[in-house]
Structure 1
Amino acid sequence: SYPCPSVRVSNELGAGNPEGARLVVGVALSIVVCSAVLVSTTLLALRHFIGIAFSNEEEVVDYVTRMVPVLSISVITDSFQGVLSGVSRGCGWQHLGAYVNLGAFYLVGIPVALFFGFTMQLRGMGFWIGMIAGGATQVT
C-alpha cells in the first residue's frame, strides 16, 4: 500500500529532495481532487434516493435531499484538509497545523455555525455550513 503524504513528504525532505516532496504533494492533491469530485458528483446524482436508505418518512427524505449539496462541499473541503494536514506534519510543522486548526474552527467555524444555525434558523444545515467554513479556512 502507498504511505500517507506525511510519510512520503518527510522521507523526501529528509533525503534532501524538496522537488520529490513537491511531486508527492502534487500527486496527493491530484488524487484528492479526482476522488472528491467523484464522490461529490455521485452524492449529488443520488441525492433524491439517499434519504430513502435511512427512513421512509417523507420529511426525513426531503431533509437529506436538501443537505446533500452541503455534504458534497464538505467532502471536498475535508479531503483537501486531510492531505494538507498530512503535508504539514511531513514538513515538521505540527505546531503550525495545530494553530491553524484552532483558529479556523474556533474563530471562523463556530461563529459561522452559530450565526447560520441560530440567527438564520437553518439549524442542522447552518451548523454544517459552519464546519465547511472552518474546513475551508483551514485549507486556505
Structure 2
Amino acid sequence: MMIEDQLRERLRKIEALFLGAATDGERDAAEAAFARLKAKLDEASRVDRPEEMKLSFPDHWSVRLFIALCRRYGLKPYRYPRQRNTTVMVKAPRRFFDAVVWRQFNDVHADLWTYFEQTTERLIRETISADAADAETVKEPIGLL
C-alpha cells in the first residue's frame, strides 16, 4: 500500500498547488480558494455562455476521474441515449473548463496512470514472474515449439 499512500500524497500536493496552498497553514486558505473557484465558475457562466462539449476517454477509470472533477466544480456531466460509456458531455464556460477542470484532470490522470503502471508491474513481478520485461524483437519468425 506504500505506492497508494504516495499517490494520495501526490494528489494532495497537486490539489494544494492547484489551489495555491503549499503548507499545512495554508489549507484553510485552499478551502477559501476552492470557494473562489466556484464563484469564478458562476461569474464565467454569466460572462461566457456555457458551451456543450463532448469528450471521449480511453477507459472507464478516466471517465470516473473526469466525472468526479466535473461534479466537484458544480458541473453536471451527462450522456445522450446510445452514447458509449466512455463518452461524457458537459456544459461549461470554455475558459473556466480549460483553465480549471481540464488542467486538473490532466495532472491527476498522469499520476493515476503512473500508479496503475507501477502497481501492475509490482504485482506481476511478485505473483507471476520476476522477469516482467517486454518481449524481445527478432528478425525472423521463430518456429513452433
Greater strand share, 1 or 2? 2
Structure with greater Cα Rg? 2
Greater helix share, 1 or 2? 1
